[in-house]
């Protein structure tokens, strides 16, 4: 008699675990449905960026990501540009941003890019980072305009 009591509790516990695993995928499906609908309305494509922002993504990936993090997602070695370039941030103004990129901050470990990048490439990088900071441009490889 005493032996059968723990056996009953065990099966109860197993039962509730089964219920939990059944509910979880349902919740995921509920959460995914509106996103799928939004994607379908947009023609199923990733959000579009401008030609300049696309070029900026390329420049950023080549010149900046190793220190500031891929997709501007942050990296412990350098300033978080999503915060620096967000409205009101220390490098939110284009002129300030471009000056930092041109001159670097050699004592802090950031090299100058004046001899490496053209002014148009720096401006494109600003457009991309600004788009990321304003949450208009998603993380990941953006869809190439016109593609
Ligand atoms: C070798 C590493 C390195 C690379 C490459 C690099 N940076 Fe930096 N960057 C830093 C560090 C470190 C700082 C922080 C300087 C400080 O604390 O003042 C910084 C600061 C900045 C700031 C100022 C942020 C603020 O809040 O004041 C901007 C803007 C910036 N970087 C943009 C860029 C861009 C754009 C590129 C690519 C063209 C780039 N950086 C490439 C290391 C790097």
CA of 56 to the centre of ligand 1 (A): 15
Each residue's pLDDT tens digit, 28-71? 454 554 444 444 444 545 568 999 999 999 999 999 999 999 99
By alpha-carbon position, which residue is closest to atom 37 of ligand 1?
64
pTM recorded for the entire structure = 0.76
Domain boundaries, the chain: 1-45, 51-133
CB of 112 sitting under 6 A from ligand 1: no
DSSP-assigned states of every residue in the chain: -TTHHHHHHHHHHHHHHHHHHHHHHHHHHHHHHHHHHHHHHTTTPPPB--HHHHHHHHHHHHHTHHHH-GGG---TTS--HHHHSSTTSTT-SHHHHHHHHHH-BGGGTBPP-TTTS-HHHHHHHHHHHHHHHTT-SPSSPPBPTT-
Residues of the chain with pLDDT under 70: 1-47
What is the CATH code of the structural domain delimited by 51-133?
1.10.760.10
The pLDDT, as a whole number, for residue 16 is 53
């Amino acid at each position: 008699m005493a032996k059968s009591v723990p056996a009953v509790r065990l099966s109860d516990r197993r039962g509730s675990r089964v219920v939990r695993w059944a509910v979880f995928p349902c919740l995921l499906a509920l959460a995914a449905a509106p996103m799928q609908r939004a994607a379908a309305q947009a023609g199923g494509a990733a959000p579009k960026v401008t030609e300049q922002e696309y070029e900026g993504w390329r420049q950023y990936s080549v010149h900046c990501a190793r220190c500031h993090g891929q997709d501007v997602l942050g990296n412990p070695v350098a300033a978080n540009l999503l915060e620096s370039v967000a409205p009101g941030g220390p490098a939110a103004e284009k002129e300030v941003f471009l000056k930092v990129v041109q001159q670097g901050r050699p004592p802090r470990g950031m090299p100058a890019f004046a001899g490496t990048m053209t002014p148009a490439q720096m401006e494109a990088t600003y457009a991309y980072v600004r788009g990321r900071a304003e949450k208009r441009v998603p993380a990941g490889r953006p869809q190439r305009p016109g593609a």
